[in-house]
Amino acid sequence: MTRTQLSMTQAVVLFGSPGSGKGTQANLLKTCLKVPHISTGDMLREHVREGNSLGVKVASTMQAGSLVRDEVVNHLVEERLAEPDALEGFILDGYPRTRTQAEHLCGWLDGRGIREVVIHLIVDYNVIVARLAGRRQCPRCGTLYNIVSNPPRVAGVCDLDGEKLVVRDDDQESVIRQRLAAYESQSRPLIDFFREKGRRLYEIDASDQSPEALSFQVCRTIQSPEVRQPVSPAVSTNDH
Ligand code: ADP
């Protein structure tokens, strides 16, 4: 079956500031929706770890907390979306992050008759800074922890595979500030873009709830009859 025959492709875009919980929600959501979690940050970090030419090219940009060039990220995502496991749907985490990326993605989706749902996770600025500073990640499986709000069972060790947890290079304080500045100037304006273009945008307050409670709310939103309405592949309601 080709993708154009699948008008029910479940395309979810998790949108929000660094530290808003996109990665945690995507991990919970992929079990509920049974579609892959596609994180541009994880994909880029994988290239950096492998030390290939792309990794070498983007490493310093990422370490500085700035955004990688649109052409690079658009190409990476397009290649990933073409893989068979993404045929029935996907959860995008950390993409799109600029207007050029959003236009690229919307064109790709509209060309295939796929109507995405954008979930904007809204989190208070101070909560975000505290979360990012306490964040630890398993370098092997990518699971995220927080030393205050979501600690592993054994301090410093991943619950799932026993690997020693690490602080990401870009979770250092000065870099956190740069990432939040990049979000404010380049990514936050996309909320208006999604609205103007009539994309399906749902805003959820994600400051106080537990990841599980939030995931329940996100799942309920995505699976509501209003969101699950099929759309004819030939019809594109958005002209961008
Ligand atoms: P966070 O959302 O917490 O900032 P990510 O893992 O999504 O973390 O991203 C880490 C870094 O990877 C970003 O600071 C940026 O350098 C790069 N990156 C990830 N996604 C994109 C994207 N869509 N466009 C440009 N750069 C990106």
Could you please report the per-residue DSSP string of 47-106? HHHHT-HHHHHHHHHHHTTPPPPHHHHHHHHHHHHTSGGGSSEEEEES---SHHHHHHHH
pLDDT at 204: 95
Higher pLDDT, 142 or 61: 61
Report whether pLDDT(240) > 50: no
Active centre residues (catalytic) = 22, 97, 135, 168, 179
Higher pLDDT, 187 or 172: 187
Would you place residue 159 in the very low, low, confident or very high pLDDT band (cuts 50, 70, 90)? very high
Whether ligand 1 lies within 6 angstroms of the CB of 92 is answered as: no
Separation CA 109–CA 21 (nearest Å): 24
In percent, the amount of the chain with pLDDT more than 90 equals: 70
Look at residues 35, 27, 18, 31 and name the one whose alpha carbon lies nearest to residue 211: 27
- pLDDT 10s digits, 123-146: 998 889 888 889 999 989 988 899
Expressed in angstroms and rounded, the spacing between residue 65 Cα and the centre of ligand 1 is 8
Both tokens of 78, joined, read 């397009």
Q: Ligand 1: which atom is nearest the Cα of residue 77?
A: 23
Report whether pLDDT(235) > 80: no
Higher pLDDT, 32 or 183: 183
Whether ligand 1 lies within 6 angstroms of the CB of 80 is answered as: no
Whether ligand 1 lies within 6 angstroms of the CB of 18 is answered as: yes
Report whether pLDDT(80) > 90: yes
Average pLDDT over every residue of 107-122: 95
Q: Ligand 1: which atom is nearest the Cα of residue 42?
A: 6
Separation CA 30–CA 51 (nearest Å): 28
Helix/strand/coil (H/E/C) assignment for every residue in 96-139: CCCHHHHHHHHHHHHHCCCCCEEEEEECCHHHHHHHHHCEEECC
Separation CA 96–CA 76 (nearest Å): 12
pLDDT at 118: 97
One-letter identity of residue 7: S
pLDDT at 170: 84
Cis preceding-peptide flag for 96 (omega within 30 of 0): yes
Expressed in angstroms and rounded, the spacing between residue 1 Cα and the centre of ligand 1 is 33
Expressed in angstroms and rounded, the spacing between residue 94 Cα and the centre of ligand 1 is 6
Look at residues 49, 61, 16, 43 and name the one whose alpha carbon lies nearest to residue 166: 49
Helix/strand/coil (H/E/C) assignment for every residue in 4-34: HHCCCCEEEEEECCCCCCHHHHHHHHHHHHC
Average pLDDT over every residue of 107-121: 95
- pLDDT 10s digits, 4-57: 444 578 999 999 999 999 998 999 999 889 999 999 999 999 999 999 999 999
Which of 30-34, 87-91, 230-234 reaches the highest mean pLDDT? 87-91
